[in-house]
Amino acid sequence: MSSSSASKPLLRNGVSPSKVGVPAKTDTTALEFLAHRFPAISREVWLQRFLEGSVFNALGRKLGPEHCLLDETHLLYFRHVADEPALPFKANVIYRDDYLVVADKPHFMPVTPGGKYLQQSLLVQLKQELNLPDLSPLPRLDRETAGLVLFSVRAQDRNAYQEQFRLRQVQKTYEAIADAPASSKQKLQFPITYRSMMVTDAQFFKMRELAATECDPSNPFNSETWIDCVESLEPDVSASSASKQSLKSLAKYIMKPVTGQRHQLRVHMNALGLPLVGDQFYPVVKRGAEETDDFQSPLQLLAKKLTFKDPTTGAPRSFESRQQLALSDS
């Protein structure tokens, strides 16, 4: 492989390969190593991937199943997803220049490949449509959340943008629909700033909060969100008596996360007694992580606005989603 071709990222139908490190002095074949490293994938599947030319070394050279890994540092391989579910909607690119791509993502679409999704992920679709092999998402949205997703176009700029998110120099604004404040058992006065210590739940796809007694007094929280209630909608009083009993007042909220823990906004609103409309995980799991989605009942959470100073040009940047969360439609 020439140096010019080796410098180009491996890409197949818009998909970048997965990467796995090889421990030093690994004196075994590529097939034996991968079959042992990923026991859930059969040797037959790995052998088929070798035959298809889907396994490479760090330099991008195709490997055979009997290749010895003694001098290799990591392997690259392309995964295959059988029977990938089709998503009945697409994202819109609302901005593009030499440095950034900004997409307006629909609910249910994953940003990157994972689980049962590969070609349907936003990253793969944009790489194919825009012919941008180095495209990389900056902090990602949950699959269930709609709204703005920022992508770095050039590999050399990626760290500068990511550093802005790490240093909390990007102002993120979300909109959400949830029960009205009066529905909560807590006496809430908006706007409020909510803080808590969040950790991964026993159900790996969820997060939970630690009680105050479980926290280190010197580091009592790792998540913080500013929240305001901006609009309320009362239930239809003309409904039948039976219907009235199940009706709740809803409200629209603006949320500005200071930190970026997984599911942070969903967990914080649930802790306030105001779980988001359409949330399948909080307060209780209604649908497992791998179960079929109900496209008619999306999570009512929208990444509405991003504002920051561009580290590559110094220019102010501000982007806003064209999507809307309507109280009457929730």
CATH number at residue 126: 3.30.2350.10
The 10s digit of each residue's pLDDT in 233-275 is 876 656 554 444 445 789 999 999 999 999 999 999 999 999 9
Residue 244: per-residue pLDDT: 46
What the block records as the tokens of 182 is: 């009066």
pLDDT of residue 115: 80
Where helices occur in 56-212 by DSSP H, the ranges are 122-130, 158-166
**Which three-class secondary structure state does DSSP give residue 66?**
coil
Domain boundary among 131, 166, 201: 166
Beta-ladder partners of 101 = 96, 151
Indicate whether 11 and 117 sit together in one domain: no
CA neighbor of 262 nearest in space, from 151, 108, 143: 143
Task: Kindly tell me the burial class for residue 248, based on how many C-beta atoms sit within 10 Å of its own C-beta (0-12, 13-18, 19 or more).
Answer: middle
Residue 59 lies in a domain: yes
Residue 129's pLDDT band (cuts 50, 70, 90):
very high
The answer to whether residues 154 and 177 belong to one domain is no
Q: What is the pLDDT of residue 86?
A: 85
Whether residue 80 is predicted with pLDDT greater than 60 in this model: the reply is yes
State whether 214 and 155 are in the same domain. Answer: no
Structural domains of the chain, count? 3
Q: Give the count of beta carbons closer than 10 Å to the beta carbon of residue 254.
A: 18
Confidence of residue 209 (pLDDT cuts 50, 70, 90): very high
What is the percent of the chain with per-residue pLDDT over 70, rounded to a whole number?
A: 91
Residues 316 and 188 in one domain: yes
- Whether 21 and 56 map to the same domain: the answer is yes
Is the domain of 71 the same as that of 125? no
CATH of the domain at 12: 3.10.290.10
At 148, is the pLDDT very low, low, confident or very high (cuts 50, 70, 90)?
A: very high
DSSP state of 214: G
What is the structure's pLDDT at 139? Answer: 81
Between 287 and 75, residue with greater pLDDT: 75
Domain assignment of residue 85, yes or no: no
Domain assignment present for 22: yes
In a domain, 275, yes or no: yes
Does 192 lie in the same domain as 310? yes
Is residue 46, in this structure, part of any structural domain at all? yes
Q: Are 67 and 155 in a shared domain?
A: no
Answer yes or no: is 47 within a domain.
yes
What percentage of the chain carries pLDDT values higher than 90? Answer: 69
How far apart are the C-alpha atoms of 42 and 33, rounded to whole Å? 12
Give the pLDDT of residue 11: 83
**Mean per-residue pLDDT, 27-38:** 94
Alpha-carbon gap, residue 305 to 311, rounded angstroms: 18
When the pLDDT of each residue in the chain is averaged and rounded to a whole number, the result is 89
Range of the domain at 62: 3-77
Mean pLDDT in residue range 51-59: 93
